[in-house]
Structure 1
Amino acid sequence: MQTIISDGRTTYQGHPTTVLMPDGKTLFCVWTIGHGGPCGPLKKSTDGGRSWSGLLPTPANWRDHVNCPTIWHLPTAEAPLRLVVYAQEPESRRMVYSLSEDGGNHWTPMKPCGGDIVSVMPWTAILPTGDGRLVGLTNARDPESAAPLSNRIIRSYSGDHGLSWTPPEPVTHLPEANLCEPWVLPSPDGREWACLLRANNREYPSMVIFSRDHGATWSVPRPLPEGLRGDRHIARYLPDGRILAVFRNVAPDTAGFGHFCGWVGRWEDLKNGTPGELQLKLLHHAPAEPKFQFDCGYPGLELLPDGTVVAVTYLHRRTEDAGNSVVSMRIPSSQLTQEFSYEAAK
């Protein structure tokens, strides 16, 4: 079920994200060297994550930009296979982008996004608003806080398919929880959005906010089900209507604490705060030192047409490795049953 995309035996490979192309079998994975370090590594799978290419050529200045790059399929009528990778300038943290209009064969050098977006992370959520625009969400430092690692959730709009953005606006703010890394999942009928949020101080559960106007206004934060206590959630619908979310588990006293984990439930569980169906430990993280306990879990998550889930993360595969590896995991969604649960793992 596992494929090593990039081995960390000698070099730290970190923070991957993925995108699935319209053919339902081609995937791209982009990541960094070092923790939040230089961008550049890019690989491709043409068989739904069973195997991966060697490193693909990318512009030299990708290595001059940093921090958890995110990759998105943002098509236009003229370029249906158009891809955009977002990253950041290392000092200013201004967001930059690289564009491919031919399905990932050729890329432009990184250059600043229009709109001068300064943030902690590149866009962690991008959705169409229904009026021809895109809305992007991420976290930025709170200008009203003296804390050096403060966070608030921001949003911005793009009218040119993701190259330039409006001045960022605050979405929600809970200083005591230090919310960050938003991921947005529409309801099954598309009328409501749920935004899953990491609580970075680890003293609060993960949170959720809801919007019924395509992200223009949002509810106040409230706790997610305890099984979703984690960092950097990505969630998608399975063919049977259930939701699979994957993330770094930060819930003490669980079998998945500190590992790459998942949760299976339904929209009603997000709305009502109910536990959901399954809590999953997907991959084991074996940190060389305790300080690296949570250095895993930034994921990609894609659903193939045949119902196979492709989950990608970075983690320390072997204690003796010098760094983390990027690993792809393929799971038939029909197998996401009680056999994968924490109780079965015990």
Structure 2
Amino acid sequence: MFRPIIALLPSIFLIVSCTHRYGQKVHILDSELSKNYTIPFLDISNETERHVIVDRDSTKYFGHPSTLLMNDGHTMYCAYSLNHGGPPLFLKRSNDGGLSWSDYLPIPGNANIADNCPFLFYLPDSQGVNRLLMMVGGDDGEANGMWQASSYDGGQTWSNYKNNGRTSVVASPTIVAVDSDGKLLMWHHAYANAERKAGDRLALSVYQSESIDGGETWGNTHPICEIENASPCEPAVVVSPDGKELACLMRENSRRLNSVVTFSKDEGETWIAPKELTASLTGDRHQPKYTKDKKYLLVTFRDMAFDSPTKGDFVLWIGTYDDIKNGTEGIGRVKLLNQYPPKNDTGYSGLELLPDGTFVATTYVKYKEKDKYNSIVSVRFKLEDILTRLQ
């Protein structure tokens, strides 16, 4: 059984016996699935009453936000960067479920040493004391470094960043607690090696690391998904509703394939051969969230389906875990926000569920056509409303 850590923090698939352990296999995967989807579509991007501006400045480019909803159901944090994955870092807090936001909060004193997509987690340290954990990547072109800092007073003060010894282009968007022995698992991506290519670029692989001290140190790092002439990356891990399986949703950065997925039934010890996802789930930086009863699974991402009319925009997929496992398209798709040109520079997001059933999806986006830079914007919706309007 698994316990997802609160994070800012996802033809037919056949579950086969092929497993993947460290050093065993680079998988061969052909592009065989449709490049477009047939499920119902709804556009709510122009419904401005749903929008909350977290940060907007005519002289600054804000990017790559992630959010964290605390256990009280109304305190929310949003962390994001200046420019495309670059320092400095910004952090804000909302006390009303994302309806209004504070001024800038303190950040780690050495935040200028690391960059690339901050992620927030709420978890105990090795002494069992609750803390906020902030992770960022340290990509310098060689995928060097993953950095983390801790706060024990609600983000008012932070330790300095320290390198946790993992190699990653960006930090991990997902941490899961494995109940059987108390360890934490996280997933991240890095360049595979100096020889293997995906197209004309170095290939990326997805790695898994584990911690037995509350995330203070990480080890046993090994690849769980490597594909010949492809670059799986930006892993988002979903725990099945019965808690017995993990599904790892991944961007495919060579653009030869749809997005891809792999599954584990043994707490991450082994992973089956990766499969393509349907076009309806093809995109970048998947951010999954269940409804309270886990009947529905929602995933936000940057739409990168090859033949999609909303390619490059911020979208929402609605379906079930079984849709992902069985390779079915899902229930519907929703355009949450339009990204004015240049396209494809949006979609890294946080997705939170408030106690009253409101979802809050936060992204960076060129909000108005006349805007020069991207802003941080939230879209608020209730699933019941969306389902009744899907055609």
TM-score, normalised relative to structure 1:
0.92
- TM-aligned CA deviation for residue 111 of structure 1: 1.4
CA shift for structure 1 position 124: 2.0
Distance 1:242 1:6, change over 3 A: same
What is the match of residue 9 of structure 1? 58
- Match in the other structure for 2:137: 88
> Within 5 A, what are the aligned runs for 1:62-211?
62-76=111-125, 78-80=128-130, 82-89=131-138, 91=140, 93-113=144-164, 116-130=165-179, 131-143=181-193, 145-147=195-197, 148-211=201-264
How far did 1:323 drift?
Answer: 1.3
Q: Secondary structure at the match of 1:63?
A: helix
Instruction: Find 1:249's aligned residue among 297, 300, 303.
Output: 303
Q: Secondary structure at the match of 1:102?
A: coil
SS at match of 1:66: coil
CA distance in 2, matches of 1:26, 1:286: 31
* 1:262 and 1:281 in contact (8 A); partners too: yes
Q: Is the 8 A contact 1:39 1:87 kept in 2?
A: no
Q: Which of 89, 92, 107 lines up with 1:58 in the alignment?
A: 107
Q: Deviations over 1:282-301 (max 9, x none)?
A: 111112xxxx3211100101
**Which consecutive unaligned segments of at least 5 residues does structure 2 have?**
1-49
**Residue identity opposite 1:95 in structure 2:** M
Q: For 1:1-34, what per-residue CA distance to the aligned partner results, in whole angstroms no more than 9, with x for missing partners?
A: 1111111422100001111111111111111101
Report the Cα distance in structure 1 between the residues aligned to 2:280 and 2:196, rounded to whole angstroms. 32
Does the aligned pair in 1 maintain the 2:365–2:376 contact within 8 Å? yes
SS across alignment from 2:311: coil
Report if the CA contact (8 A) 2:109-2:159 is conserved.
Answer: no
Contact 1:39–1:69 (8 Å) recurs in 2: no
1:338 Cα deviation from its structure 2 partner: 4.9
Report how many aligned residue pairs link the two structures.
334
Q: Residue 297 and residue 133 in structure 1: after superposition, are their counterparts in 2 closer, same or farther (change >3 A)?
A: same
Which residue of structure 1 lines up, in the alignment, with residue 335 of structure 2?
281
Amino acid at match of 2:331: E
Aligned partner letter, 2:160: P
Contact persistence 1:65–1:87 (CA under 8 A): yes
Do the aligned partners of 2:139 and 2:168 also contact (CA within 8 Å) in 1?
no
Q: Which amino acid is 1:279 matched to?
A: R
Aligned-pair distance for 1:75? Answer: 2.5
Equivalent residue of 2:112, what SS?
A: helix
**Are the aligned partners of 2:263 and 2:272 in contact in 1 as well (CA < 8 Å)?**
yes
C-alpha distance after superposition, 1:218-261 (max 9, x if no partner): 11111112210111001111135100000000113323211000
- Describe the SS at the equivalent of 1:337: helix
Higher RCO by CA contacts (8 Å cutoff, separation 6 or greater): 2
Residue of structure 2 in register with 1:313 after alignment? 363
What is the CA distance between 1:304 and its match in structure 2?
Answer: 1.2
Contact 1:8 1:326 in 2 (8 A): no
Residue 80 of structure 2 contacts residue 117 of structure 2 at CA under 8 Å; is this kept in 1? Answer: yes
Cα distance in structure 2, aligned partners of 1:98 and 1:313: 23
The residue type equivalent to 2:158 in the other structure is W
In 2, the alpha carbon distance for the partners of 1:39 and 1:72 equals 19
- 225-234 or 246-255: which moved more? 246-255
C-alpha spacing 1:145/1:303, structure 2 compared with 1 (3 Å):
farther
Opposite residue 134 of structure 1, the aligned amino acid is: L
Partners in 2 of 1:312 and 1:149 — Cα distance? Answer: 31
Equivalent residues in 2 for 1:283-298, closer than 5 Å: 283-287=337-341, 292-298=342-348
Equivalent residue number for residue 23 of structure 1? 72
**Which residues of 2 match residues 261-276 of structure 1 at below 5 A?**
261-276=315-330
Q: Which residue of 2 aligns with 1:215?
A: 268
Structure 1: which amino acid aligns with 2:65?
P
Distance change (3 Å), C-alpha of 1:145 and 1:129: farther
Instruction: Tell me if the contact between 2:138 and 2:170 (Cα under 8 Å) persists in the aligned partners.
Output: no
Amino acid at match of 2:332: L
- Deviation of 1:155 after TM superposition, in Å, equals 0.7
Question: 5+ residue gaps in structure 1?
Answer: none
| Residue pair 1:316, 1:324 contacting (<8 A) in 2 also | yes
What per-residue deviation string (whole Å, max 9, x for no partner) do you get for residues 313-344 of structure 1?
A: 001112332211111111122222152x4x5x
Structural mapping, 1:34-49, within 5 Å: 34-49=83-98
**Structure 2 residue aligned with 1:225, among 268, 278, 281?**
278
- Aligned-pair identity in percent equals 40
Alignment partner, residue 33 of structure 2? none
> What secondary structure does 1:282 align onto?
strand
Which amino acid letter does the alignment assign opposite residue 162 of structure 2? K
